[in-house]
Amino acid sequence: MIVDDQAIVRTGMAMILSVEDDITVVAEAEDGVQAVDLAACHRPDVVLMDIRMPRLDGLDALRALTRPGALHMPKVVMVTTFDDDEYVTRALQSGACGFVLKDAGPRLLVEAVRAAAVGDSLISPAITVRLLERMMRTPPPQGAQAALSPREFDVVRLVAQGLTNAEIAEALHITVGTVKTHLTNIQAKLSARNRVEVAAWAWRNGYAHHET
């Protein structure tokens, strides 16, 4: 499902996604209120959600779609612009599973949808650098470094750089299944709900650029 208050944006995204054999656009919504209603009817696997919208913005709609006890909980990928710093930071804490820029291009949009559908996520590298880097200002919590193994730190660093599971597996010469196992353990140790929160933790604590 595509959610954006601009019809031309919805149409453009729908055209890009509809030509893919493995992606079907089941609904389009112009604001958060309509998104919540249509999600209940169509039960999409993935929602592409704009942040700034009338009536109900993307953050409130995100919380409504991923609330505890929801009968159907889609994966929500936030679609944002560079001036949404505060909104994206708040969305990180509300369960978003990915972020792409509105002008990121067709390939990245398609990859974000596919990643979300299989429980992976994609953070546009530009967003990773531009928005998560500011979280480094917060001092690292005591004991944070000791919680992860050296290999888990390798995975965290690459997640923070915006790599997908397949790209991490290739970089570390391990299988995708092993990457997923590491991520499951990392999320448990960091109390992170998804890889986006893992990336945020890495940037906040200064582990995004270097080997540990």
This prediction has a pTM of: 0.68
Distance CA 51, CA 31 (A): 10
Amino acid at 199: A
Residue 143 has pLDDT above 60, yes or no: no
pLDDT band for 142, please (50, 70, 90 cuts).
very low
Task: Give me the mean pLDDT over the 175-195 stretch.
Answer: 86
Helix axes 150-160, 176-190, angle to 10 degrees: 90
Worst-scoring range by mean pLDDT, 12-26, 89-103, 146-160, 161-175?
Answer: 89-103
In angstroms, rounded to a whole number, what is the distance separating the alpha carbons of residues 25 and 31? 17
The arithmetic mean of pLDDT across residues 92-106, rounded, is: 79
Task: Provide the token pair at 35.
Answer: 């998104």
119 SS3 class: coil
Across 142-146, 178-182, 200-204, the highest mean pLDDT is recorded for 178-182
3-class SS string, 164-202: CHHHHHHHHCCCHHHHHHHHHHHHHHHCCCCHHHHHHHH
Contact predicate 183/149, CB 8 Å = no
Report the percentage of the chain scoring pLDDT > 90.
34
How far apart, in Å, are the Cα atoms of 159 and each of 23, 35, 143, 167, 198?
A: 25, 29, 21, 10, 7
Q: What is the token pair recorded at 179? A: 């990457």
Share of the chain above pLDDT 70, in %: 81
Of these ranges, 1-10, 112-121, 123-132, 147-156, the one predicted with the greatest mean pLDDT is: 1-10
**Residue 17: in which H helix or E strand, if any?**
helix 7-18
Q: How many CB atoms lie within 10 A of CB 15?
A: 11
pLDDT band at residue 119, thresholds of 50, 70 and 90? confident
The count of other CB atoms within 10 Å of the CB of residue 111 is 18
